[in-house]
Chain A
């Protein structure tokens, strides 16, 4: 991999996964360096969410996954979380019947009590808006606030790699910027990020490097500062047969 010179934090090789008889991913290769922000793009149905689920062990899969020097190929989500590989799932699925604070405490389930309390406060510090509402039920938060809470849950364990699945879905543009800003702050603090995003320009602005996934395999890998990226992405999306004229 010429574009990732650093020692990879996450290394995925020949990954295959699917639902029942339906194979969705075939031979996916992907790396994320320590502290790197990587965007995972692709048309819908390409298998981006499936890929994140397979990496975090929420879905059975075959192939090799190495994380922080350890083999995680057959690890479940619990092992992944405790190794520092945290997956914030799509659709801001927080626990609406619990308070904001309890939601965050649960994210630190199994940690020593003192450390948990400290790190919950740290996570809340990223999002002053929901810190104010820590005693409220998560059901009373707006969609954007719920998404922030979901990201904050992901931070409680001080992950080394945070995988965010479409944090912008269903949010207004202002909120999207806020969530992505939080991601950028994390990045500065040294957390690596793997971001699945529909809004390509926003994703490209946040990430150092980009993978495009189409038809269940990686069809493109590039640095975000490379020239002509939109055109190449488009070709990757629409397949080899399509020569979409992109003249504006």
Chain B
């Protein structure tokens, strides 16, 4: 181990303008190429590149839904259709007096946002396949309505698309208009991706339970993203109808939906650059290989199947050279508890459970449990299988609502159930099986724990306004501190799925520390750790409690429990069998019997 200094190392998690330039370089290069493109003077390719820009406007928004939030939206062409007909009908005056195309474009954004939200609603409650079906059904129905509502859409005959006036006149003028909007969308989605909102979306996708425990409001966030994505799809529809100059329902085939969707998966989930390249590639591909035009959707589908089965990470993974460098083989996690005082602190409060009862279908999992965890202590919770230890943790952290009894933290009564509000009471936890985002860096995983402490709104993050930038700076500093405290700072930039199991346990603790919790719930943190790692874990837990955070520890390793706990509660059949200091517990006849089953 090379790290012995006590400051936070800057080498591992690089910051500053050099790193941001490195990240921005591909986008700047693409932007310059796009700006210079008209110099070629090729109007045929001009149309194709304009189309790529229009598609990207939609894909950029859809990327937030599919790539980040992991919701399988396969029918987004329905929103494109809606945006296109809204703009066309408003500028052609089929439904109301004619308006300016720019105004119609704004209206298309609003309608797109509204319907994006409606189509997205099932995703808030239901499993993936239902949402995929809802979007598919939506796109089918929009086409049917477009065909049937002849007075507005012209039915099968169609309606003329808008022509954008000054300053974006002519083909190249329109091209620059689309490019401008596409660039704006790129910038906004990059900002969202790098913000606590982007990370929260990925957390919802890959570690939903942990996201909930960190206080991330899934419904609210997804609804915001559906609005955003719907608005961009509406705008893309308006641009699309202008590009086509005349639209009929035939123009909006399901093939387009497939193209948008696959562009994202080819590009890679959780990336902005990947889907951008994917969208460009898929738009240009049929043009380069003319004989393939008829087969293009077939090829997209084949590509999708190949990607799902072979490279689930997409282009972004192939371009991720940094994470292919081998890691040091014999790594050790050496926590530095002295960092904890800079992270934790404040007055703790007593966590008390009074007469809690929880039964599942007649079986009393917890049967009148009383438990007090005092500020600054390590409290062990042990007992045989099925005695209700993890169930107790789940009651405290709000995953289960007890039938009776109360859970209080200090003076506040914690509402039964409601896992998401636990974070705002400064209750943090880890899980039996570590719940981390495998595709995100260790640092980003830890930042998830501090999500609720941000002040900036989604829009502020999207436009990278000062309040958001302050949030990010604070989050980053605290996350690096938390990582140093658990001894993982040298792995801050590494993808979490490359870590060993034992390291993931420490990542979870670092994430929990981000809340500066008043109580930390640990669910079998020592499972799967070596004896030496358990010793270090014990020392870390002890120091966490001494820095002001009380710890409730569920653990099977009796030696760890007796080593570090100030008090121990033994459960059996959902009731307290014994409580006291480790020494009292060890000599308690009934406890020994319960463990030995006599």
- Asked if chains A and B come from one complex, the reply is yes
Q: Say how far B297's CB is from chain A's closest CB, in angstroms.
A: 37
- A residues 231-248 touching B (CB-CB < 8 Å): 233-234, 237-239, 241-242, 244-248
Is B474 among interface residues, defined by CB-CB distance under 8 A? Answer: no
Which positions 542-598 of chain B face chain A at CB distance < 8 Å?
A: 556-559, 562-563, 586-587, 589, 592, 595-598
Instruction: Provide the bound-state CA to CA distance between A23 and B558, in Å.
Output: 19
Residue of A nearest to B503 (CB): A21
Given contact pairs A169-B386, A234-B592, A43 touches B597 in the complex (Cβ within 8 A): no
* Cβ-defined partner of A43 (8 Å) among B363, B524, B528, B556: B556
Q: Is the CB of B384 within 8 A of A44?
A: yes
Asked if A24 and B528 sit within 8 Å, CB to CB, the answer is yes
Contact of A45 with B by CB under 8 A: yes
Cα A62 to Cα B528 in complex, Å, equals 17
Which chain A residue has the least Cβ–Cβ distance from B594? A198
Inter-chain contact B587/A200, CB cutoff 8 Å: no
- Say which residue of A22, A200, A215, A245 sits within 8 Å of B586 (CB atoms): A245
Q: Which of B363, B556, B598 contacts A44 (CB 8 A)?
A: B556
How many Å from the CB of B445 to the closest CB on chain A?
15
Given contacts A23-B528, A200-B596, A244-B592, contact A239 B385 (CB under 8 A): no
Q: CB of B43 within 8 A of chain A? A: no
B586 touches A244 (CB 8 A): yes
Does A199 make an interface contact (CB < 8 A)? yes
Q: Which residues on the A side are within 8 Å of B557 (C-beta)?
A: 215, 239
Does B504 belong to the interface (CB within 8 Å)? yes
Q: Is the CB of A242 within 8 A of B562?
A: yes
Residues of B close to A69: CB separation below 8 A? none
- B256 interface residue per 8 A CB criterion: no
Tell me the bound Cα distance from A245 to B585 in angstroms: 11
CB-CB under 8 A for A43 and B595, given A22-B433, A244-B587: yes
User: Is B527 part of the binding interface, using a Cβ–Cβ cutoff of 8 Å?
Assistant: yes
Which of A18, A46, A202, A246 interacts with B592 by CB under 8 Å? A246
How many angstroms between the C-alpha atoms of A170 and B592 in the bound complex? 21
Interface extent on B, as a size class? Answer: 20 to 34
Quote the shortest CB–CB distance from B390 to chain A (angstroms).
11
Mark contacts of A29-69 with chain B using CB atoms, 8 A cut-off: 1 yes-contact digit, 0 otherwise.
00000000000000111100000000000000000000000
C-alpha gap A248/B589 in the complex (Å)? 7
Report chain A residues within 8 Å CB of B559: 238-239, 241-242
| Nearest A residue (CB) for B385 | A44
The answer, among B386, B524, B556, B597, for a CB contact under 8 Å with A200, is: B597
Neighbouring B residues of A43 by C-beta, 8 Å: 384, 556, 558, 595
Residue of A44, A46, A197, A237 with most chain B CB atoms under a 10 A cut-off: A44
Q: Is B500 an interface residue (CB 8 A)?
A: yes
Instruction: Report chain A residues within 8 Å CB of B386.
Output: 169
Chain B neighbourhood of A245, CB < 8 A: 586-587
Contact B556 A46 (CB under 8 A): yes
Which of these, B527, B592, B596, contacts A22 with CB under 8 Å?
Answer: B527
- Known A-B contacts A23-B528, A242-B562; the reply to A233 vs B501 at CB < 8 A is no
Chain B residues lying within 8 Å of A201, measured Cβ to Cβ, are: 597-598
CA of A43 to CA of B524 in the docked complex: distance in angstroms?
A: 14
Quick one: which of B385, B587, B596 contacts A237, CB cutoff 8 A?
B596
Given contacts A230-B596, A241-B559, contact A198 B589 (CB under 8 A): no
B588 (CB) vs chain A CBs: closest residue: A244
Is B598 in contact with A200, judged by CB distance below 8 angstroms? yes
A234 to B562 Cα, complex, angstroms:
15
A237-B524 contact given A245-B586, A246-B592, CB 8 Å threshold: no
Cα of A130 to Cα of B404 in the assembled complex, Å: 38
CA distance in complex: A78, B558 (Å): 38
Q: A239-B558, A239-B559 are in contact. Are A45 and B587 (CB under 8 A)?
A: no
How far, in angstroms, from A20 to B587 measured CA to CA in the complex?
38
Query: Which chain A residue has the least Cβ–Cβ distance from B562?
Result: A242
Option from A24, A198, A202, A246 in Cβ contact (under 8 Å) with B384: A198
Q: How far is the CB of B555 from chain A (nearest CB, A)?
A: 9
Q: How far is the CB of A114 from chain B (nearest CB, A)?
A: 41
A247 vs chain B, min Cβ distance (A): 8
* A130–B501 alpha-carbon span in the complex (Å): 46
Tell me which of B524, B589, B596 has the highest count of chain A C-beta atoms within 10 A of its own C-beta.
B596
What's the nearest-Cβ distance from chain B to residue A49, in Å?
A: 9
Residues of A within 8 A of B587 (CB): 244-245, 247
Q: Indicate with 1 or 0, residue by residue over B380-391, a CB within 8 angstroms of chain A CB atoms.
A: 000011100000
- Residues from 436 to 482 in B contacting A, C-beta threshold 8 Å: none
Contacts beyond the supplied A197-B597, A198-B384: 4 A-B pairs with Cβ under 8 Å: A23-B528, A198-B597, A239-B558, A245-B587
> 21 A–B contact pairs at CB < 8 A?
A19-B433, A22-B527, A43-B558, A45-B524, A198-B385, A198-B597, A199-B597, A201-B597, A215-B557, A230-B596, A234-B595, A237-B595, A238-B558, A238-B562, A239-B557, A241-B559, A241-B562, A242-B558, A244-B586, A245-B586, A245-B587
